[in-house]
């Protein structure tokens, strides 16, 4: 194993650990519990889960792993705040999308070599990447892992 | 620059970004605001800040960068829940410790080469490290960055 693989493996291990936490946290909730707010007047658990799903879905094209599977989640969970729209995806739909999106990412990650990870991500131009090589796919992995942790810290407040 | 340095630089960039967020979030609070709970009956902002300070302080020996500077923070902010003790460090003390600890870490990080980061951390034995080389210093950096994000997601709920 090359040294480079060690760093990539650690980035993926940290990502997987947070995904597991999210699976356990959200996966055990009933359809009533998922509608709880994390604090009075704050986002509901369903909104956070849908938000995470949408952000992970957007990683597919960002990392050149494929097209988005659920672009329709953005209107409900990214572009608008919680409780501003009646027609958001259901508990069942979010659960299924969450699982499918993360499996698809996981499959994509398996095919990526250490050198793929330090290539530019698709939202940065070749010109900008030439100026700042830190705008690469590994940076996306680390920042999205932290994004997940950030919202897990909130979601745990909505339990019990 | 070696490839290995790219991954380390990204890990440090992500760490620094979260430290900056924490500096801004906690640093602007008055001595009244710092005593707010993040949600009714939950931890106060001062507790979260002290907790993060204690956990970062413990990274110094864990990464072999030096002795702990504030081991006394553990009783107040790690070993006991919030509001269980009257004698916890003050706003001023937490602010100062937070700054000193993170500067000390930052200085230590600057001296570490890419190969230092994939050495074992001090809480794992040589024997266990031989079985699982992922228990290294870079793993600590990534997990503590996520720990910080987790609590930042909570702390932001205590603002305004």
Backbone angles phi, psi at A37, to 5 degrees: -85, 150
Q: How far is B147 from chain A (nearest CA, A)?
A: 7
**pLDDT exceeds cutoff 90 at B1:** no
Q: Of A39, A138, A149, which has the smallest distance from its Cβ to B157's Cβ?
A: A39
- Dist. CA A129–CA B6, nearest whole Å: 14
Q: If interface means Cβ-Cβ distance under 8 Å, which residues of chain A face chain B? A: 3-4, 6-11, 13-14, 17-18, 38-40, 42, 114-115, 118, 133-134, 136, 138-139, 142-143, 145-147, 149-154, 157
Backbone angles phi, psi at B88, to 5 degrees: -105, 160
Tens digits of residue pLDDT in B91-139: 999 999 999 999 999 999 999 999 999 999 999 999 999 999 999 999 9
Which pLDDT score is estimated for A111?
97
In this structure, are residues B112 and B91 in contact, taking their beta carbons and an 8 Å threshold? no
Q: How far is A31 from chain B (nearest CA, A)?
A: 23
**pLDDT exceeds cutoff 90 at B32:** yes
Homologous superfamily in CATH for domain A3-158 = dinb family like domain (1.20.120.450)
Produce one character per residue of A42-77: b if its CB has 16 or more CB atoms within 10 Å, e if not. ebbbbbbbbbbbbbbbbbbebbebeebebeebbebb
Residue of chain A whose Cα is closest to the Cα of B149: A150
ipTM, interface predicted TM-score of the complex: 0.96
Q: Give the tokens for residue A115.
A: 């050198």
Which pLDDT score is estimated for B126?
97
- Dist. CA A41–CA A13, nearest whole Å: 35
- State the 10-residue block means of pLDDT for chain A, 160 residues long: 91 98 97 97 98 98 98 98 95 98 98 96 97 97 98 95
pTM of the predicted protein model: 0.97
Residues 6+ apart with CB under 8 A from B3: A3, A4, A114, A115, A118
**Which has more confidence, B3 or A141?**
A141
Q: How far is B75 from chain A (nearest CA, A)?
A: 22
**Residue B14 banded pLDDT, cuts 50, 70, 90:** very high
- Dist. CA B97–CA B54, nearest whole Å: 9
**Would you kindly state where each structural domain of chain A is located, as residue ranges?**
3-158
- Dist. CA A81–CA B111, nearest whole Å: 44
Residue of chain B whose Cα is closest to the Cα of A42: B157
In this structure, are residues B38 and B150 in contact, taking their beta carbons and an 8 Å threshold? no
Q: How many CB pairs under 8 A join A and B?
A: 106
**pLDDT exceeds cutoff 80 at B160:** no
Test A118 with B42 for CB contact under 8 angstroms.
no
């Amino acid at each position: 194993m090359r040294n480079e693989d060690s760093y990539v493996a650690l980035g993926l291990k940290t990502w997987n650990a947070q995904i597991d936490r999210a699976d356990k946290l959200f996966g055990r909730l009933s359809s009533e519990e998922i509608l709880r707010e994390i604090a009075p007047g704050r986002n509901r658990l369903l909104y956070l889960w849908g938000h995470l799903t949408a952000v992970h879905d957007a990683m597919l094209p960002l990392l050149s792993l494929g097209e988005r599977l659920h672009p329709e989640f953005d209107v409900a969970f990214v572009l608008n705040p919680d409780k501003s729209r009646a027609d958001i995806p259901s508990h069942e739909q979010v659960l299924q999308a969450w699982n499918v999106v993360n499996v698809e990412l996981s499959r994509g990650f398996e095919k990526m070599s250490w050198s793929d990870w330090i290539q530019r991500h698709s939202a940065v131009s070749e010109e900008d990447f030439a100026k700042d090589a830190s705008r690469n796919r590994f940076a996306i992995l680390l920042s999205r892992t932290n994004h997940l942790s950030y919202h897990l810290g909130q979601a745990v407040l909505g339990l019990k």
